[in-house]
Structure 1
Amino acid sequence: MQIRERTKDITFLSFNQTNTCLLVGTKAGYTLWRTDPFDQCTRGFSDHPIHLCEMFFSTSLLAVVCNSSVENFTPRVLYLYNTKIDQVICLLRFNEDIQSVKLNQQYLVVVLKQSIIIYTLEKIEPVCTLDMYFNQTTPVPPEALSNPPIVALCPQKPILAYPCDPARGNVCLARLNEPGSARTPTPTSSGASTTDAETYGSYQILEAHDHPVVALAFRKDGQWLATASAKGTIIRVWDTESKAMVMELKRSSVGRQAHIHSLAFSDDGTMLVVSSSSKTIHIFAIQGEKKSEKSCAFIRLDQEGITETKHISSFKPDNQTIQVAFADGQYFHFRLPPPGSTNKKCERAEHHSLLSTSS
């Protein structure tokens, strides 16, 4: 999650694909924290503000984008950086600012304002360039381009999801070919690659919401995709094979709107945690065929004395602990209620500072 407030020291927050590490970008470099036990692992790019920072699972490989006026450290340059040897192993330059970076076992995905460039991770070779808003029915509104594009990449499988019409809640599910089997993209007169489905695999259009989609998350195996719209009242879970809706989850029983900050499945895929601009973090059970399901557990931030609203959350690998990182530098662990308990409130277990040099 990017933090755009000038008063914040933290500029970016992101969990890795296994939720075992937390990347914290600041105005003076990044810090990588191990989440269990909570401990600082490494720091880097200490002379430059961080724009984006993405970790490759639990390895020493990071994708780093800075936000400086210094040459080579602008938002148009992507560094692939090895923390173990403290060395940049690859540098990629672009003609416009990088909006997001995603990594999985097969691909490196670089998101620009209206396009997505896909590279093989093994050789960092471009596979194709996708037009993000190819499904739009009207011109892209300026306000849509003022926010970073939303893109989700399945950790285990080459499946990509992104909104393809900024005026409606349509999502493109792109199934990429395995590296080595993709056809060579065909250049166009403008120099960009085509978005022909045969170039990179196949795609489907998911009519997920009536309003623009602002949050996406895959289950680890890619079988399910969670979506949320700009209204933020309903979260839907979809089967990525059949496009059938698995569940419809109500974040607010009275229709109070909120901006969704993050969606995250538990490691076993049976729960979903939803963070938003409201004072409540909701945890949903994703089981059976029930519709309009209410949350099975919650974290009430104001009851915990937490006033900061900008945050991201995820499950720890034990599937029983919610970890929450805030833009003001606070980091919490909350325990889910015991099975069968009538109490739905999560219990606070740990609290640490993300801006200190030690836990």
Structure 2
Amino acid sequence: MATLSASPNPNPKPNFRSPTDQTDHDPESLPHMELHPSSDQEPTPNSNPNFHAVLPTPPEAIAPAAAAAPSLLHISFNQDHGCFAAGIDHGFRIYNCDPFREIFRRDFDRGGGIGVVEMLFRCNILALVGGGIDPQYPPNKVMIWDDHQSRCIGELSFRSEVRSVRLRRDRIVVVLEQKIFVYNFADLKLLHQIETIANPKGLCAVSQGAGSLVLVCPGLQKGQVRVEHYASKRTKFIMAHDSRIVCFALSQDGQLLATASSKGTLVRIFNTVDGSLLQEVRRGADRAEIYSLAFSSNAQWLAVSSDKGTVHVFSLKINGGSPGIDRSQSASDSVTSPHSSLSFIKGVLPKYFSSEWSVAQFRLVEGSQYIVAFGHQKNTVVILGIDGSFYRCQFDPVNGGEMTQLEYHNFLKPEAAF
């Protein structure tokens, strides 16, 4: 049985058990939850209409890989950007970024569309949601998949479709169109419910540092983001943009937040503790749809992808804005922002001319959808396309300019496997 290696071991086999005390929640808004035993015995089907008959999925029920390239329904990086997951029309696949290779795949023989695959670092636990024309699971359920057993060991059911899922070692966060549920991973007990504005993309970000949980989601107003600090039990609302929020990202420790609106021209970086605006960078002059934002591990760089076919890397100059973040590189090691030569006339020319522009760029096919993250090697960026493209590029932190392409793969082609 091919599995993800747990390194470090992020609680690879949580002891799932039924929550016993949820009487304080409104029963009308409480999602139905059904747990299946995590032993090697197959669960016994019962009369509960929420029971999904395809569970379990023993190894012999897994079909061979399809000969033709599959349709891609979902791509996402894991929490440290070292791996990525692809949901396809008959299963899912997990890949390593550097070196690039397919780690494992699961192909289902009955339909099998997977619309969401959320990894938990590199351990054997994943969250799956059905998707596509012929979904493997109902799109209103989150299935907890244990790849050691090659089957689902639990599920969460809702009254509407699941838009996205976020995992931490201690929490499961489920995002619906206008509501977010936060669960304890150890026993799946519901801890918190959040109301949001319409959120069809399932926008949500959670911190992944060893410290306490910081969660960011849309607020109840256009252009507003909500920041939940669970350690201090504080909620912070930030009016980030005048237009609708379409994308945001958190730094690993949850102290920095980058946001983009439907205009797609400016990206703003905020301090999540006090909501202050720390920096503003410009992607371009014309409108664009921002697909993804990503901080580097030390929060020194920010990457942005959009439908304009260009990935931008910006230098972040907010050392004093977020205490505790290690930015080991000195200012002399990084490129000077292109706006600095105009600083002497700042305030005279329109804001467009004094904006901070990206220091490095990589050109892709315009109109196609890409997501981006920073690689584990210094000054590298990994780019994933909805067309199955995988790019690994390197940027020059001193001189900036066009990035250098280090490698390219099409991860959907059969020959890319193993």
Tell me which interval the TM-score lies in, with the shorter structure as reference length: 0.7 to 0.9
Q: Report the AA paired with residue 174 of structure 1.
A: E
Q: Verify: 1:225 aligned to 2:243, yes or no.
A: no
User: Do the aligned residues in 2 keep the contact of 1:24 with 1:354 (CA within 8 Å)?
Assistant: no
Deviations 1:78-110 (A, max 9, x none): 111122331212111111110110112321000
- Deviation at residue 128 of structure 1 after TM alignment: 2.1
Q: Identity of counterpart residues, as a percentage?
A: 28
- Indicate the residue corresponding to 2:108 in structure 1: 46
Distance 2:318 2:140 in 1: 45
On the 8 A contact 1:225/1:239 being kept in 2, the answer is yes
Among residues 201, 204, 207, which one is paired with 2:239 in the alignment?
207
The equivalent of 1:277 in structure 2 is: 307
Q: Indicate conservation of the 8 Å contact 2:113/2:136, yes or no.
A: no
| Equivalent in the alignment of 2:358 | 295
Q: Give the superposition deviation at 1:11.
A: 0.6
Identify the residue that residue 333 of structure 1 maps to in structure 2: 392
Whether the aligned pair in 1 keeps the contact of 2:308 and 2:366 (CA below 8 Å) is no
| Alignment CA distance shift 1:87-1:282 (3 Å) | same
Q: Is the 8 A contact 1:11 1:25 kept in 2?
A: yes
* Aligned counterparts of 2:82 and 2:376: Cα–Cα separation in 1: 7
Matches within 5 A, 1:315-326: 315-326=374-385
Which residue, 182, 195, 205 being the options, matches 1:118?
A: 182
* Residue number in structure 1 paired with 2:13: none
Contact conserved, 1:247 with 1:292, CA < 8 A, in 2? no
What aligned pairs does 1:139-158 form with structure 2 within 5 A after superposition? 144=198, 147-156=200-209, 157-158=212-213
DSSP 3-state at the match of 1:209? coil
8 A contact 2:308–2:367 mirrored in 1: no
Q: Does 1:33 align with 2:92?
A: no
The equivalences for 1:176-255 within 5 A come to 176-177=230-231, 201-252=233-284, 255=285
Q: Would the alpha carbon gap of residues 129 and 66 (structure 1) be closer, same or farther in structure 2, given more than 3 Å must change?
A: same
**Match for residue 162 of structure 1 among 171, 194, 217:** 217
Q: Distance in 2 between matches of 1:348 and 1:71?
A: 36
TM superposition shift of 1:308: 5.8
How far apart, CA to CA, are the structure 2 residues paired with 1:215 and 1:238? 14
Q: 1:177 deviation in Å?
A: 4.6
> Would you tell me which structure has more strand in proportion to its own residues?
1
- Structure 2 residues without counterparts, runs of 5 or longer: 1-68, 320-336, 338-353
Greater shift after overlay, 234-243 or 154-163? Answer: 154-163
2:254 and 2:272 in contact (8 A); partners too? yes
Q: Distance between the aligned counterparts of 2:83 and 2:276, measured in 1?
A: 33
CA distance in 2, matches of 1:347, 1:265: 20
1:265 aligns with 2:302: no
Q: How far apart, in 2, do the equivalents of 1:54 and 1:232 lie?
A: 26
CA shift, 1:307, in A, is: 5.2
Taking the aligned partners of 2:89 and 2:136, their CA distance within structure 1 comes to 16
Structure 1 distance, partners of 2:152, 2:72, is: 23
CA distance in 2, matches of 1:358, 1:119: 39
**Counterpart contact for 1:39–1:358, Cα < 8 Å:** no
TM-score, normalised to structure 2's length? 0.70
The residue that corresponds to 1:138 in the other structure is none
- Matches of 2:70 and 2:224, distance apart in 1: 33
Q: After TM superposition, give the deviation of residue 71 of structure 1 in Å.
A: 9.1
- Give per-residue Cα distances to partners, 1:320-341, cap 9 Å, x unaligned: 111111111111111112x422
Structure 2 CA distance for aligned equivalents of residues 256 and 72 of structure 1:
40
Q: Secondary structure of the equivalent of 2:81?
A: coil
Cα distance in structure 2, aligned partners of 1:158 and 1:216? 17
Cα distance in 2 for partners of 1:257, 1:235 equals 12
Q: How far apart, CA to CA, are the structure 2 residues paired with 1:332 and 1:224?
A: 26
Q: CA deviation at 1:14?
A: 0.1
Q: In 1, Cα distance between the equivalents of 2:277 and 2:119?
A: 31
> CA–CA distance in 1 between the matches of 2:134 and 2:86?
21
CA spacing shift, 1:292–1:209, aligned 2, 3 Å? same
Distance 1:331 1:68 in 2: 22
Q: Which residue of 2 aligns with 1:181?
A: none
TM-aligned CA distance change 1:161 to 1:294, over 3 Å: same
- Separation of aligned partners in 2, 1:55 and 1:164: 26
What is the letter of the counterpart of residue 389 of structure 2? Q
Moved over 4 A (4+): 68-72, 288-291
Distance 1:323 1:331 in 2: 7
Q: Return the alpha-carbon distance in structure 2 between the equivalents of residues 78 and 279 of structure 1.
A: 33
What residue in structure 2 maps to residue 97 of structure 1?
161
Q: State the 1:123 CA deviation.
A: 1.5
Q: 1:356 deviation in Å? A: 2.5
Shift of the alpha carbon at 1:279? 1.9
